[in-house]
Amino acid sequence: MASGIQAASPVDVALSVRELTVSLPEGMERAYAVENISFDLKRGQILCIIGESGSGKSVTANAIMGLLPKAIRISSGAIHLNGTNIVGLSPDKLRSLRGRVVSMIFQDPLSALNPLMTVGAQIEEVMAAHDAGTPASRRSRAIDLLIEVGLPDPQLMYHQYPFRLSGGQRQRVMIAMALALEPAILIADEPTTALDVTTQAQILQLIRDIQRRKGMSVMFITHDFGVVAEIADHVVVMEKGHCVEQGSAAQVLKSPGHLYTRRLIAAVPHLSGKDRVPSEAGERASILKVECLAKTYRSGSALFRTQRIVPAVNGVSFDLTSGRTLGVVGESGSGKSSLGRLLIKLMECDGGSILFEGRDIAGLSEAEFRPLRPKIQMIFQDPFASLNPRSTVGRILTVGPVAHGMRYSEAAERARELLSHVGLDAGAFDRYPHEFSGGQRQRIGIARALMFKPRLLIADEAVSALDVSIQAQILKLLDQIQRETGVSMIFITHDLRVASQICDEIAVMHRGQIVECGPPSQIFLDPKSSYTRELVAAIPGEQPASTPEHADFGRHHNRGETL
Amino acid sequence: MSAFLLNRLFQSIVLLVIVSIIGFTVLNLMPGGPLAQFGLDPGMTQKDVERLAAQLGLNRPLWIQYLDWAWRLLQGDWGHSFRDGSAVLTVIGRHLSATLLLMGTSTALAIAAGTWIGIRGATHRYSLFDYCATVGAMIALSVPTFWFGLVGIYIFTLKLGWVPAGNMYTIGDGSVLDYLHHLILPSLVLSLVHVAIWSRYMRTATLDALSQDFVKTARAKGVSERRILLKHVVGNALLPMIALAGMQLPSILTGALVTETVFTWPGMGRLFLDSLGYSDYPVVMGLLIFSAVLVVLGNLIADIVIATVDPRIRLA
């Protein structure tokens, strides 16, 4: 790959990476974090580096920043920043480049800001670190920067502590900080991944605007092809430490050359304007009917008038028939996870009814509800945290059914059956969760939920923590399971694209209420509520009206395949 | 904030009442009762003892004794020592300054040294310094304080003759230098175990702060390592330490039983031991309430300090 690229003249190249190899300490999965990668970031362009977890994209960014941990070294190659090779530079020289010539913004804007320092002080710190200006000039510059990144009331914002700001506002502060010394290069490491989709659209727009206004060069790291389509001029695709393909955004997105790129693009969930082909199961009985469900969080004390009341779920009603999937979509704080917890009675509701197979379970005590628990099972978001690391997979699967009176031998037999059903080999039974990858663990989580032969599965962000290619596999598995067992599903997600892949009907939640409910085709092509329209418009890289045909193509044809 | 304080005040009062009831009951359940001392005195007959008990109100039911005691306490009357008849508060006052001097010095030493060792251990993790600090802390925590005290006296007093073996001052001298001379050994011995605890906690807290994302942000801004440590790491690492300091506060005033005994230091710890030995219940109860109040106060002060330095709590 590298040999094909001619070193561009330093005048129009802001950042040039040449045959860079970064070695990992011994005993790791592989010897190199990245091996022999080369690319150029041209002045005034946005270069997207895309790859799944473990592709080496963040290591590359840290190498350019001179921020690699001690155990990870650059073993060969060169990194030219504005014509200067930074490989082998002293820590002091590297430090003087950081923040001045190249600056960086990170994924999680909450933890990336010091909770004990005001926003203004943190912005000024960049300038102070490089002895730029006087305290007074730094202060006025900080306020200018707050205006530039579009934060309301900059004078007030200057004295604000980070915890007072929303995620999007914090990311704007990070950007203001990165811009303080007008660096030539901005490295953005997944800067919108932790944000809601509407906030993500705003931040992408901001980065684009600032980049154009200042003629800055941006290296943008992401795992999301939607984001790439939205802002990239140039794309580098990375896989397992190698640079497998690079080219202009149009070229890579429209006619990807490498097999891996093609697989990755095919795996990206697209907004599907088409509705799901329902399974052929016969009778359609109502399995879950929710009416006017409400839950209000109260904190503080009524006595001292500091009480805060947050209506998390407010008058939610829907009806789910057997063998169908309802998607619950919303941004953070919309109440979608609270709804999930109410349905499985991990939390008591304040009002309304939950008719499960015709019986109201809302008012049942824990003891009365316990026999029904096996029928409603949950699949959790984090496949790492949701499995007990000290139990074997076999124990994780069998402990529930045994507690509900199944004989161990019978449970173990069913567990082995299910493990192979979800695409793991039967040997997984005696192994521990840490021996499996994220996708495999989520399969274990699904098998665990199926142990009870449930009537209803609640999947709370079940694929959100997974890479897109794994995500696609898990979605396919869930679809297949539903067709075989006729289980009903409630699929809670923040990602409209994912919801459109698997749901028969989608309920859009906003501030505790369902603002719109309908089949995907209606939600995406003809949204009735303004909030849904906003949400759909914010999805990166999608124009709902012109959804490419091939996006659905793969989907329908893959239906019959086994995993 | 004021609602929070009111709430805490209410909780504290309930806690103090419960502690005093338990303390009063347990003390009076001890075999022999408060006048057991006098029973052994050949000069006192059974009648004398009974007369004394009636005089002191000890023949009444326990709950009435408690209410009487609590009511007087609220009015500022903590009772009188059985030993010499002086007011309990006066007795406590006599010993308080000695303890404050010893404990204040050793705590200040411990916090200063512990903070430095902890931070350095975290920034130079797995270095020779870190290993020595770890092993040193283990030894200081596992060997009893009186052993260090005795070894200290053996080496620095008997062998080298550098410092006195005990007491707070030389009778007839009492200059500042003389006080300091007496203070050195006990405060060092006493601070050993606190340095160990404090440095361990500080090391963990510093490591935790070092691994935070905002430290990486500061590096990406080009901030120097020294400033990152001072401005971003230490501040955040000290937050959890404030609660620990709050728990330390009561012992500054209630003293150290063992060290004060080893060095014959006239502080609160020795007062407690002596009063127990003499069945001087009013003084023991007074000390109990005194330290309970201090524990509550220490935690309250720590909460207020945390709320003042952490904007997330201050404004939330």
Q: What is the chain A residue with the closest CA to B235?
A: A116
Residue A67 and residue B219: Cβ atoms within 8 Å?
yes
Return all residues near B30 (Cβ < 8 A) that are at least 6 apart. Answer: B279
B214 → closest Cβ in A95, A111, A129 = A111
Among residues of chain A, what percentage have pLDDT more than 70? 91
Query: Which has the closest alpha carbon to A535: A312, A313, A336?
Result: A336
Residue to test with chain A: of B10, B208, B221, most A Cβ within 10 A: B221
Please tell me the distance from the alpha carbon of residue A520 to that of residue A493, in angstroms, as a whole number.
14
Chain A CB contacts of B222 below 8 Å? 95-100, 126, 129-130
Q: With beta carbons less than 8 A apart as the criterion, state whether A210 and A27 touch.
A: no
pLDDT confidence of residue B47: 83
Contact yes or no for B222 and A99 at CB 8 A: yes
Tell if the CB–CB gap between B3 and A306 is shorter than 8 Å. yes
The DSSP letter of residue B248 is H
Query: Which amino acid belongs to residue B173?
Result: D
The ranges of chain A with pLDDT < 70 are: 1-10, 272-273, 278-283, 299-307, 542-563
Q: Where are the alpha helices (DSSP H) in A451-538?
A: 468-485, 496-502, 520-525, 530-538
Interface contact B126, partner A, CB < 8 A: no
Nearest by CB: B213 against A111, A163, A303 = A111
Q: Is B217 on the interface with A (CB under 8 A)?
A: yes
B222 touches chain A (CB under 8 A): yes
Instruction: Assess B220–A contact: CB distance below 8 Å, yes or no.
Output: yes
| Interatomic CA distance for residues A89 and A93, integer angstroms | 6
In terms of Cα–Cα distance, which of A86, A111, A117, A91 is closest to A101? A86
The string of DSSP letters for A157-194 reads: HHT--GGGS-HHHHHHHHHHHHHTT--SEEEEESTTTT
For residue B252, the surrounding DSSP H or E stretch is helix B234-254
Going across the sheet that includes A456-460, the strands are: A376-379, A456-460, A488-493, A325-329, A505-510, A513-518
Distance from CA of B307 to the nearest CA of A (A): 12
Gap between the Cα atoms of A506 and A501, Å rounded: 11
* Domain range A286-300+308-558, CATH class: alpha beta
DSSP A374: G
Determine whether the interchain pair A130/B214 forms a contact, defined as Cβ–Cβ distance below 8 Å: no
**Residue numbers of chain B with a pLDDT score lower than 50:** 316
Measured from the Cβ of residue A56, the count of other Cβ atoms closer than 10 Å reads: 25
Angle of CA points B39, B44, B48, to nearest 5°:
95
Backbone angles phi, psi at A310, to 5 degrees: -120, 110
Would you kindly state where each structural domain of chain B is located, as residue ranges?
Answer: 2-74, 93-307
Tell me how far apart the terminal alpha carbons of chain A are, to the nearest angstrom: 32
b/e string for A264-287 if b means 16 or more Cβ within 10 A?
A: bbbbbbbbbbbebeeeeeeeeeeb
- The one-letter code for the residue type at B4 is F
The whole-number pLDDT of residue B30 equals: 78
What is the rounded distance in angstroms from the CA atom of residue A335 to the CA atom of residue A101? 43
Nearest to A543 by CA among A305, A320, A271: A271
| Chain B: closest CA distance from residue A84 (Å) | 17
Quote the crossing angle between the two packed helices A438-450 and A408-421, to the nearest 10°: 130
Quick one: CATH architecture of B93-307? Answer: Orthogonal Bundle (1.10)
- The residue in chain A having the minimum alpha-carbon distance to the alpha carbon of residue B236 is A116
Residue A507 contacts residue A529 (beta carbons within 8 Å): no
Question: Which of B143, B144, B120, B142 is CA-nearest to residue B132?
Answer: B120
Alpha carbons B142 and B230: distance in angstroms, whole number: 32
Work out the minimum CA distance from B228 to partner chain A, whole angstroms: 10
Residue A3: per-residue pLDDT: 43
| Integer Cα distance of A293 and A352 in angstroms | 4
Domain A2-101+185-267 identical in fold to domain A286-300+308-558: yes
Under DSSP, is residue A270 helix (H, G, I), strand (E, B) or coil? coil
What gap in Å lies between CA A66 and CA A87, rounded to an integer? Answer: 8
Say how far apart CA A155 and CA A158 lie, in whole Å: 5
CATH of A2-101+185-267, one of 3.40.50.300, 2.40.160.40, 3.90.1150.10, 3.20.20.70: 3.40.50.300
Residues of chain A with Cβ-Cβ distance to B221 below 8 Å are: 98-99, 103, 125-126, 129, 177
User: Does residue B309 sit at the A interface (CB-CB below 8 Å)?
Assistant: yes
Residue pLDDT, tens place only, A327-384: 999 888 888 888 998 998 888 888 889 999 888 988 888 889 988 999 999 998 888 8
Question: B216, A106: Cβ pair inside 8 Å?
Answer: yes
CA distance B216 to chain A (A): 8
Q: What angle do CA A56, A263, A219 make, to 5 degrees?
A: 40
Q: Does B227 touch chain A (CB under 8 A)?
A: yes
Chain B residues with CB under 8 Å of A304 CB are 3, 6-7
Q: Is B219 on the interface with A (CB under 8 A)?
A: yes
pLDDT value, residue A10: 60
d(CA A71, CA A62): 13
Angle at A284 between CA A281 and CA A287, to 5 degrees: 115
pLDDT, position A411:
93
Q: What is the pLDDT of residue A146?
A: 94
Cα separation of B126 and B160, whole Å? 36
Q: Kindly list the residues from chain B whose CB atom is less than 8 angstroms away from the CB atom of residue A100.
A: 222
Unique residue bearing structure tokens 């006048």? B35
Residue A180: closest C-alpha in chain B: B221
Nearest to A227 by CA among A175, A188, A263: A188
* Tokens 């990375």 sit on residue: A238
Measure CB to CB from residue A98 to each of B221, B231, B309 and give the nearest one.
B221
Domain ranges of chain A: 2-101+185-267, 110-182, 286-300+308-558
What is the pLDDT, as a whole number, of residue A305?
Answer: 58
Q: What angle do CA B7, B8, B12 make, to 5 degrees?
A: 120
Report the gap between the CA of B4 and the closest CA in chain A (Å).
9
ipTM: 0.79
Asked whether the beta carbons of A480 and A520 are under 8 A apart, the reply is no
The strands making up A286-299's β-sheet, listed across from edge to edge, are: A308-321, A286-299, A351-356, A359-360
Chain A interface includes B226 (CB < 8 A): no
- The residue of chain B nearest to residue A188, with distances taken between CA atoms, is B220
CA distance A274 to chain B (A): 42
pLDDT, tens digit (0-9, with 9 covering 90-100), for B61-88: 888 889 988 998 888 888 888 888 889 9
Nearest to B311 among A116, A129, A174 (CB): A116
Whole-number pLDDT of residue A326? 93
CB contact under 8 A, A98 and B222: yes
> What is the helix, strand, coil percentage profile of chain B, to 5?
80, 0, 20
Q: Any CB–CB contact under 8 A between B200 and chain A? A: no
